[in-house]
């Protein structure tokens, strides 16, 4: 068997995800298919590239060597394809390619962008992995990426990307069944959930590590279920689990959403973009001027200014935040600047 770019891409995904299960989800294939593909790659090279452990997969010394050569090839191919597509689509008009993790601000953000940029082809790519979106952005496959960073679990940010902070510290609330004993309180103590099963999606970058850190610091070791949050909602509604959730989450008749005492779980909301052509070639001494130099461009296509794109996101997030009753109370209690729209 001859190695192809798709094989190298699979190896990189396994190394980045740390497990075949997570990598298969990111690649959009089944775990058995990925396992078979890895076995064929290893057979073609004559040795194991990953050691299979109870906690996941770890590259062997040979695997690390292969990965060091594979990554630039995969990145180079992604850039080649992205640049070719951009060149092919230039005649079709401006476009804005957005990547995002899950957020209730997305609907309002897209609506504002479409109103402000008529005639622009605006696309959306969703992914549970913020790191995967940042890699796509760095490779030229996206123009901006709106992601969350779990507190205590820094993202792996490729060199050269620019970052703007939407919310420095967004508290994560808790979703539970409407008849849960703790649902009667406006603020929930972690200790009140010590006997509950906690649901967490391990494919969301930092999610499990962040939750484990907070529970451990509180001296709690509750049973944990691993699964996606769509499944979690069904289990939570019937009292089988509790789970962290975004404070902007909308109300449901069968579910209660409450803040945690002292907000131990939190994320940072960030918007990343690539530098404009002027910035990319400005040299190492131009960091101080980066914001001004590329303010009129989002990506290679220049579909709108980055300041305006960020302002639209900010307004959409404020709209979603104020619509969520419990979060609005939290913002009021903490005298958050989100309560006040900036002057026009």
The pLDDT score that the predictor gives to residue 277 is 53
Range from 154-158, 284-288, 305-309 carrying the lowest mean pLDDT: 284-288
pLDDT, average across residues 33-53: 90
The pLDDT score that the predictor gives to residue 100 is 96
pTM assigned to the model: 0.71
Closest CA to 256 of 166, 162, 193: 193
The pLDDT score that the predictor gives to residue 90 is 53
Closest CA to 298 of 59, 122, 100, 147: 122
Q: Look over the chain and give the mean of its residue pLDDT values, rounded to a whole number.
A: 85
Say if residue 257's pLDDT is above 70: yes
pLDDT, average across residues 139-151: 95
Range from 2-16, 70-84, 147-161, 223-237 carrying the lowest mean pLDDT: 70-84
Range from 165-179, 193-207, 221-235, 250-264 carrying the lowest mean pLDDT: 221-235
CA dist 201 and 244 (Å) reads 10
For 225-237, write each residue's pLDDT tens digit.
988 877 888 899 9
Region at 272 (left for phi over 0; alpha for psi -120 to 50; beta for the rest): beta
The pLDDT score that the predictor gives to residue 273 is 95
Most confident of 52-56, 199-203, 274-278: 199-203
Q: Which residues, 6+ apart, have CB-to-CB distance to 327 below 8 Å?
A: 173, 247, 248, 321
CA dist 332 and 322 (Å) reads 10
Q: Which residues, 6+ apart, have CB-to-CB distance to 111 below 8 Å?
A: 316
Say if residue 297's pLDDT is above 50: no
Of the pLDDT bands very low, low, confident and very high (cuts 50, 70, 90), residue 88 is low
For 263-296, write each residue's pLDDT tens digit.
999 999 999 998 865 444 444 333 323 332 233 3
For 109-118, write each residue's pLDDT tens digit.
999 999 999 8
Region at 24 (left for phi over 0; alpha for psi -120 to 50; beta for the rest): alpha
């Amino acid at each position: 068997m001859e190695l192809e770019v798709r094989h190298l891409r699979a190896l990189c995904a396994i190394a980045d995800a740390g497990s075949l299960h997570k990598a298969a989800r990111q690649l959009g294939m089944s775990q058995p298919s990925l396992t078979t593909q890895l076995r064929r790659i290893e057979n073609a090279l004559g040795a194991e590239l990953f050691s299979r452990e109870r906690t996941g997969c770890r590259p062997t010394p040979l695997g690390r060597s292969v990965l060091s050569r594979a990554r630039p090839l995969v990145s180079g191919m992604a850039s080649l394809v992205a640049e070719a597509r951009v060149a092919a689509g230039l005649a079709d008009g401006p476009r804005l390619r957005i990547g995002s993790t899950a957020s209730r601000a997305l609907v309002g953000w897209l609506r504002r962008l479409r109103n402000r940029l008529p005639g622009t082809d605006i696309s959306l790519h969703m992914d549970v992995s913020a790191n995967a979106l940042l890699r796509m952005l760095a490779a030229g496959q996206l123009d901006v990426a709106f992601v969350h960073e779990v507190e205590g679990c820094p993202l792996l940010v490729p060199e050269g990307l620019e970052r703007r902070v939407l919310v420095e510290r967004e508290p994560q609330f808790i979703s539970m069944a409407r008849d849960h004993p703790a649902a009667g309180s406006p603020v929930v103590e972690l200790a009140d959930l010590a006997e509950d099963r906690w649901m967490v999606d391990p494919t969301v970058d930092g999610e499990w590590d962040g939750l484990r850190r907070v529970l451990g610091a509180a001296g709690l070791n509750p049973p944990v279920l691993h699964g996606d949050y769509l499944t979690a909602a069904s289990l939570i509604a019937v009292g089988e689990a509790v789970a962290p959730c975004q404070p902007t989450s909308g109300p449901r008749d069968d579910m209660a959403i409450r803040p945690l005492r002292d907000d131990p779980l939190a994320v940072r909301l960030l918007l990343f973009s690539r530098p404009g052509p002027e910035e990319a070639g400005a040299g190492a001494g131009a960091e101080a001027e980066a914001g001004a130099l590329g303010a009129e461009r989002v990506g290679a296509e220049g579909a709108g200014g980055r300041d305006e794109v960020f302002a639209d996101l900010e307004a959409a997030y404020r709209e979603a935040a104020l619509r969520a009753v419990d979060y609005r109370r939290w913002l009021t209690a903490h005298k958050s600047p989100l309560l006040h729209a900036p002057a026009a």
